[in-house]
Structure 1
């Protein structure tokens, strides 16, 4: 499938993206679209096209599978992302990471700010950087503001793993990859994660790989 022409108007880019299949191609580090701040959504897509684009993001996210996907990850520089987390994890993981189910949501023009000073560090992955994970320390609680796909205002506090998801996806809209915030000594293949670092928290990995966790 042909990739969208980055110089075309945004609506035309989205039409090109959706022209042949429902699942969108995933862009990788080195593609400039992942490093540019996105354009604020201000009606560049009509409601029908926006709905089709959101559905394509949903299908692509679920097929990966992932818990979030931002427009730049499929080559579109618009400030739109989707999140969803069924949180199929063991109870000990849920308790340590604060990972609870999140329904499918569309984030339009989101931004976040930390609430309080607590930080949490866990392994994170990204659909644009397949095959690897690394430990990222992030605020444990954030206030997210923006809109939904219908233009309704969003002003909500997220904690635990949901807070991590909205930070990760909003970062994409600012041209920031999780690796920019990661402890690079923790970078591990998915195989190493499965064999060595499946614990709910990354304490053993920190000792073995020689990096510090936030206090």
Structure 2
């Protein structure tokens, strides 16, 4: 189901709760909502649709990927970026990392590790910031 985009900064500033298998419907709603906004959005976190759980979805080189409980466990090569967000007006400057290693759970709730670089890494960092209650 396509959900409305959350704009309430007090809600968005909350740290997300861990996701569980009961949160699969929220993940599907997140995918549906991202697909509906594909022209102006490449990633979303669950709090952007009003669900305070650690779930992110993003465009991984042309294919949508879901991560439950993502955590960055390694990072390298910092750089300055400017980003926008569907939940907020305008753009903001932020520091990102060219390469990140992420620990997450897949749709079967199996723990996985994967390294991402470049644009995809930047998207993931933005969405994990959402899970931490960081507004960019």
TM-score computed with the length of structure 1 as normaliser:
0.57
Take 1:69 and 1:152, find their aligned partners in 2: how far apart are those partners? 21
Q: Which has the higher contact order (CA 8 A, sep 6+)?
A: 2
| Alignment match, 1:120 | 79
Is the contact between residue 64 and residue 127 of structure 1 (CA under 8 Å) also seen in structure 2? no
Task: Please say if 1:37 is aligned against 2:37.
Answer: no
From 139, 152, 166, give the equivalent of 2:97: 139
Tell me, yes or no, if the aligned pair for 2:74 and 2:102 is still in contact at 8 Å. no
Q: Which residue of 2 aligns with 1:55?
A: 28
Q: Does 1:24 align with 2:10?
A: no
Query: Which residue matches 2:51?
Result: 76
- If each structure's helix is expressed as a fraction of its own residues, which one has the higher value? 1
Contact 1:171 1:177 (8 Å CA) reproduced: yes
Structure 2: give runs of 5+ residues left out of the alignment.
none
Q: Write the deviation string for residues 58-81 of structure 1: whole angstroms up to 9, x where unpaired.
A: 121122231111111111111111
Cα offset, 1:114, TM superposition: 4.0
- 1:194-209 equivalences in 2 (<5 Å): none
CA distance in 2 between partners of 1:147 and 1:135 (Å) = 29
Q: Closer, same or farther in 2 for the Cα pair 1:115/1:102, shift >3 Å?
A: farther
More strand by share: 2
Show structure 1 runs of 4+ deviating over 4 A.
none
Larger Rg: 1
Q: Distance in 2 between matches of 1:29 and 1:141?
A: 31
In the TM superposition, residue 124 of structure 1 has moved relative to its aligned partner by 1.2
Any stretches of 5+ residues in structure 1 without a counterpart? 1-21, 86-100, 179-215
Alpha-carbon distance in structure 2 between the residues aligned to 1:173 and 1:26: 15
Work out the number of aligned pairs and report it.
Answer: 134
Provide the alpha-carbon RMSD of the alignment. Answer: 1.8
